A and B are shown apart, each in its own frame.
Chain A
Amino acid sequence: GENVEQHPSTLSVQEGDSAVIKCTYSDSASNYFPWYKQELGKGPQLIIDIRSNVGEKKDQRIAVTLNKTAKHFSLHITETQPEDSAVYFCAASLAYTGNQFYFGTGTSLTVIP
């Protein structure tokens, strides 16, 4: 099956700085890569996703890049704010086939005011 690795496990940044979280995947057939944000005591919530036919996607301060050849994808958060503090998960799946998502182990991001 698919194996998704995520780094770093913890990340502290000053407010206003950028944060980058990286994930690698093992199955070259995976073609859908979502990122989830989980706040304390809540379920994960999708913040951005990317499909394998796209190399980069942006949504305001959040961007995701995908390198299919190297099998890695990254989350970039610019101009970080204290409310960005949360745990972030990457995931990989095979679109249109079954319903199996494979998650990374999470990154706890702390934005220091």
Chain B
Amino acid sequence: NAGVTQTPKFQVLKTGQSMTLQCAQDMNHEYMSWYRQDPGMGLRLIHYSVGAGITDQGEVPNGYNVSRSTTEDFPLRLLSAAPSQTSVYFCATNGGGGGYEQYFGPGTRLTVT
């Protein structure tokens, strides 16, 4: 089992460009989340999903869109990249919501110039 996979590993964007960060899991988990990690700020929740077709906002959702059409995939879209979105992005899954272990992907390091 691959667990949680994320692509790409690294990405450089110019301000205003759009892109999609991919996340896929083979753990058959209903719950998936996107976090950003910035120095000194820990991990902050961007968006999360509790099942296919159901998404909700986290702490820092502005500038990001998500959708969940299948259990396996949970892509994160940056509509118009800004330098403030330079960060490391992690996707995570868990089996039952807030009280269950989260499994994190390896991350995508994004730089917006």
Contact = CB atoms under 8 A, between A and B. Distances in A.
B97 interface: yes
Residue with the highest number of chain B CB atoms closer than 10 Å, among A32, A34, A44: A44
Contact of A31 (B45, B58, B99, B107): B99
B43 A99 contact: no
Interface string A7-43: 0010000000000000000000001101010000111
Interface residues of A, number: 31
A98 B99 contact: no
The dominant DSSP class at the B interface is strand
Contact of B44 (A6, A45, A95, A103): A103
Contacts of A97: 97-98
Given A98-B50, A98-B56, A103 B101 contact: no
Interface in A84-105: 89, 93-105
Nearest to A106: B42
Contacts, number: 83
A99 B106 contact: no
A34 B101 CA distance: 8
Residue with the highest number of chain A CB atoms closer than 10 Å, among B32, B94, B99, B100: B99
A44 B98 contact: no
Contacts of A32: 98-99
Contacts of A95: 97-100
A101 B97 CA distance: 9
Contact of B99 (A43, A93, A102): A93
19 contacts: A9-B40, A32-B99, A41-B106, A44-B102, A44-B104, A45-B104, A49-B101, A89-B42, A95-B97, A98-B48, A98-B98, A99-B31, A99-B33, A99-B56, A100-B58, A100-B98, A101-B102, A102-B45, A103-B43
